[in-house]
């Protein structure tokens, strides 16, 4: 795992092992360790205090203190009450600092939960799972904090364990299915190839989907949640089609003229290239027209046409032949590569032709308009006689 992904999954890794976020506060010569509270902790606090109780916040902070001056408090049922009585006697600055830290934990937990699915698809996640003997050992066995086993599993840990068990079952089924395909290949090679191609397509689609999830997680970490950005419209997303339905949907949007954010950037770039190339061609035509006008002016001044071609002697022709290479491939350059690529890829605009999208969103094909050839009489009536001279 790179430093970038390690930083992105930092809080998520702590919520897995040891199972909570933690920070330390040092006030008045004492050092307190606070941890994040799971939903089970909140439910436990609500068993003996109501949300509307003025002392609700004090109980919340008391349950979050898990170490005081190096003394671990996890697993001690009397510790929250002792800390609660101490907080009632202490000053407000200590309580406010602790309460702000506890509230900050909730925000960090919500943000870490947004990266859970992406972390499930990382190889690091599977290595941690295999390090636990594929579920034979609990998560708290990877930490040396005493009493952490009394906290149980938080929702994020439960989801992580469940997914890894399902992934193990999927790997086992894939192994059995691979053996089945070997047996099928002995009976019908074409049947085996068909099954193999379907499995390959399915695996590629799944790998692409997981890659998209990890890419969205990285974009969220770098640029924030785009759902909260009012400048991002619903169409400002990049769609990558993989399945047949997604390809059909992409074609439907292309026929209807719906461009996503990436398509709009590409189209704007191509339009800018077209404008620059057309401007260069216009300037070139102006230069050619200026030279042609200058040539005509010289002809009028001299009273005779200036020859466009100059005859050469046999000696000059022989000198030209000797200067040319006598071996190797001969290349005839029609135009410079940039101009050829522009005429091939940028200048033409692709149209949908006879395809269109109806009111129900289905792709329909209009019958092509057949133009009947003109009769012989119409051709004779419409001919143009040209008289030379």
Residues 6+ apart with CB under 8 A from 44: 63
Cβ contact 78:100 at 8 Å: no
Q: Is 330 helix (H, G, I), strand (E, B) or coil?
A: coil
What's residue 367's pLDDT?
A: 66
Is the pTM higher than 0.75? no
Residues 6+ apart with CB under 8 A from 302: none
pLDDT mean by block of 10 residues, the chain; 389 residues: 82 93 87 92 87 86 92 90 88 86 93 94 94 92 90 92 94 92 88 90 90 91 70 50 66 72 76 84 87 81 65 82 66 63 74 69 67 73 66
Of 220, 209, 162, the closest CA to residue 5 belongs to 220
Count of H-run helices and E-run strands, the chain: 15, 6
| Overall residue count recorded for the chain in this entry | 389
Per-residue 3-state assignment (H helix, E strand, C coil) for 295-351? HHHHHHHHCCCCCCCCCCCHHHHHHHHHHCCCCCCCCCCCCCHHHHHHHHHHCCCCC
What's residue 235's pLDDT?
A: 45
Cβ contact 80:37 at 8 Å: no
Per-residue 3-state assignment (H helix, E strand, C coil) for 166-207? HHHHHHHHHHHHHHHHHHHHHHCHHHHHHHHHHHHHHHHHHH
Identify the sign of the CA torsion 65, 21, 56, 93: positive
What's residue 112's pLDDT?
A: 93
Rounded CA-CA distance 20/154 in Å is 8
What's residue 319's pLDDT?
A: 85
What's residue 252's pLDDT?
A: 75
């Amino acid at each position: 795992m790179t430093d970038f992904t390690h930083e992105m999954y930092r809080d998520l890794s702590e919520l897995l092992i040891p199972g909570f976020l933690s920070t330390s506060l040092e006030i008045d010569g004492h050092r307190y360790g606070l941890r994040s509270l799971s939903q089970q902790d909140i439910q436990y606090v609500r068993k003996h205090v109501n949300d509307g109780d003025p002392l609700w916040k004090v109980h919340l902070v008391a349950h979050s203190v898990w170490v005081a001056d190096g003394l671990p408090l996890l697993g001690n049922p009397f510790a929250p009450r002792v800390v609660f009585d101490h907080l009632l006697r202490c000053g407000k600055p200590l309580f406010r600092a602790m309460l702000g830290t506890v509230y900050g934990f909730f925000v960090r937990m919500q943000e870490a939960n947004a990266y859970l699915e992406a972390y499930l698809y990382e190889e690091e996640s599977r290595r941690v799972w295999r390090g636990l003997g594929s579920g034979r050992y609990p998560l708290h066995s990877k930490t040396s904090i005493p009493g952490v086993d009394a906290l149980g599993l938080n929702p994020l840990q439960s989801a992580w364990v469940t997914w890894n068990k399902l992934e193990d079952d999927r790997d086992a089924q894939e192994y059995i299915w691979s053996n089945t395909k070997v047996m099928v290949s002995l009976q019908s090679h074409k049947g085996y190839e068909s099954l193999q191609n379907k499995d390959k397509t399915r695996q590629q689609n799944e790998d692409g989907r997981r890659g998209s999830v990890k890419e969205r997680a990285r974009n969220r970490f770098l640029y924030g949640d785009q759902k909260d950005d009012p400048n991002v419209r619903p169409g400002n997303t990049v769609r990558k089609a993989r399945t047949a339905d997604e390809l059909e949907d992409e074609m439907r949007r292309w026929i209807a003229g719906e461009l996503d954010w990436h398509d709009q950037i590409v189209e704007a770039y191509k339009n800018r290239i077209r404008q620059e190339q057309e401007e260069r061609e216009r300037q070139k035509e102006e230069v050619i027209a200026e030279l042609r006008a200058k040539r005509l002016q010289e002809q009028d001044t001299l009273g005779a046409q200036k020859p466009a071609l100059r005859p050469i002697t046999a000696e000059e022709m022989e000198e030209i032949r000797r200067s040319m290479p006598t071996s190797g491939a001969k290349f005839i350059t029609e135009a410079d590569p940039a101009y050829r690529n522009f005429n091939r890829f940028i200048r033409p605009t692709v149209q949908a032709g006879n395809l269109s999208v109806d009111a129900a969103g289905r792709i329909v094909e209009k019958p092509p308009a057949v133009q009947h050839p003109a009769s012989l009489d119409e051709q004779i009536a419409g001919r143009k006689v040209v008289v030379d001279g």
